[in-house]
């Protein structure tokens, strides 16, 4: 730096210091013979008014914060009620089919019990053939009772309200349970193919994830006209899409979704179904559940070409590093 430049820089700094000093003196009040005079009363009043304004604004902000916290609590409670209401709607949609599923095993349970009762009443000593027939009837009865027990268990899992907790969930089991619950809607419309073996646990909640896949399967079924089972298919395929993520696709050969509707299908209360048939909540709730678990829900669809709903979910934390560890071991070997 040249000498002239240094002189100019020092002059500018001195000028700046003088400006700051004058501003400070103005704020502190005038001086006489080196003695600082008390600030004028007007300045004191202005400071008091400013302080009072700050206190009022602070109190207003605190009140607004309390009100916002209460509104947030109410919103969370409403969201929980909405999730449960949609689940009950899904249960209502499958109620008739579940009744049919229960009636079938119940019918042969009662028939077999009547047969066993008559055999034991009419014959004091059973021949080996009669004894074998009674044992077979008992085995069928036990199988039917076990089938009913599983159906009831699946209903209880889906309808459970206390589902706010999350943790490692067996996604394959969740998908298979949802497929069983939706089978009554699918059996007269399309073949169901499920490929979801060997998946790592995902971070989620079994009841909520079951609600998601049940809704997707019921929507897939309702997009297909009944009566042409061999021509149509609903295919669920799951795999590890990338490190730390699992993807599940629900593909159908149904009527598809038009472009103008595809942009809105996740909007609450949007539905193309007739009045009284659909609420427009199913896909919106599914989207909310998946995103709340750190996942994504997307759709690919076109009229007449069917639809693909793709759910991605994070692998549970304790299991997310397992593939990397095995790959490193292979590389070392």
| Domain boundary assignment for the chain | 83-159, 167-314
Q: Could you tell me what percent of the chain has a pLDDT over 90?
A: 17
Q: For residue 252, list its beta bridge partners.
A: 234, 307
* Pick from 11-15, 93-97, 158-162: least confident: 158-162
Ranking 17-26, 68-77, 88-97 by mean pLDDT, the lowest is 17-26
- Which pLDDT does position 26 carry in this prediction? 55
pLDDT at 333: 33
Calculate the average pLDDT of the chain: 75
- pLDDT at position 17: 57
| Matching CATH number, 83-159, of 1.10.1060, 3.40.50, 1.10.287, 2.30.110 | 1.10.287
In eight-state DSSP terms, residue 254 is: S
Half-sphere exposure (Cβ direction) of 3: Cα atoms closer than 13 Å: 0
Record the tokens describing residue 90, joined without a space: 């899904």
pTM: 0.55
| pLDDT of 254 above 50 | yes
Rounded to whole angstroms, the maximal C-alpha distance in the chain is 131
Note the pLDDT of residue 308.
94
**Strand 296-302 relative to strand 306-314, pairing:** antiparallel
Query: How confident is the model over 101-132, as pLDDT tens digits?
Result: 677 678 778 888 888 888 777 777 778 888 88
For the chain, the first-to-last Cα distance in angstroms comes to 63
Please list, residue by residue across 37-47, b when 16 or more beta carbons sit within 10 angstroms of its beta carbon and e when fewer do: eeeeeeeeeee
pLDDT at 189 over 50: yes
pLDDT-derived band at 134 (thresholds 50, 70, 90) equals confident
- As separate numbers, helices (DSSP H) first and strands (DSSP E) second, the chain gives 8, 9
Question: Which of the four pLDDT bands, split at 50, 70 and 90, describes residue 309?
Answer: very high
Please, where are the H alpha helices in the chain?
Answer: 3-28, 41-122, 128-159, 171-186, 206-222, 259-262, 282-292, 322-332
The mean-pLDDT minimum among 46-55, 174-183, 257-266, 270-279 falls in 270-279
Which 8-state DSSP code applies to residue 224? S
Residue range 167-314 in CATH 3.30.565.10 = yes
Taking the C-alpha atoms of residue 285 and residue 143, their distance in angstroms, rounded to an integer, is: 36
Can you tell me the distance from the alpha carbon of 268 to that of 215, in angstroms, rounded to the nearest whole number? 14
The Cα–Cα gap between 195 and 233 comes to 13
């Amino acid at each position: 730096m040249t000498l002239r430049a240094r002189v100019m820089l020092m002059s500018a700094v001195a000028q700046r210091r003088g400006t700051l000093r004058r501003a400070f003196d103005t704020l502190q009040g005038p001086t006489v013979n080196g003695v600082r005079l008390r600030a004028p009363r007007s300045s004191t009043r202005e400071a008091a008014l400013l302080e009072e304004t700050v206190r009022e604004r602070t109190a207003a902000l605190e009140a607004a914060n309390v009100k916002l916290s209460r509104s947030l609590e109410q919103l969370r409670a409403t969201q929980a009620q909405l999730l449960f209401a949609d689940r009950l709607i899904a249960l209502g949609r499958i109620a008739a089919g579940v009744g049919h599923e229960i009636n079938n095993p119940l019918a042969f349970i009662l028939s077999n019990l009547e047969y066993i009762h008559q055999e034991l009443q009419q014959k004091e000593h059973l021949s080996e053939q009669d004894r074998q027939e009674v044992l077979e009837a008992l085995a069928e009865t036990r199988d039917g009772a076990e089938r009913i027990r599983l159906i009831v268990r699946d209903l209880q899992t889906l309808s459970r309200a206390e589902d706010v907790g999350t943790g490692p969930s067996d996604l394959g089991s969740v998908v298979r349970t949802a497929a069983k619950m939706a089978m009554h809607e699918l059996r007269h419309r399309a073949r169901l193919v499920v490929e979801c073996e060997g998946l790592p646990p995902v971070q989620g909640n079994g009841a909520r994830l079951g609600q998601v896949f049940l809704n997707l399967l019921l929507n897939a079924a309702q997009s297909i006209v009944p009566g042409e089972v061999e021509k149509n298919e609903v295919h669920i395929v799951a795999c590890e899409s990338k490190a730390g993520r699992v993807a599940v696709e629900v593909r159908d050969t149904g009527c598809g979704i038009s472009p103008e509707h595809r942009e809105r299908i996740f909007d609450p209360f949007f539905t193309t179904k007739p009045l009284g048939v659909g609420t427009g909540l199913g896909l919106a709730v599914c989207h909310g559940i998946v995103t709340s678990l750190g996942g994504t829900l997307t759709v690919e669809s076109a009229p007449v070409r069917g639809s693909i709903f793709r759910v991605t979910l994070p692998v549970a934390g304790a299991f997310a590093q397992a593939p990397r560890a095995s790959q490193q071991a292979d590389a070392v070997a």
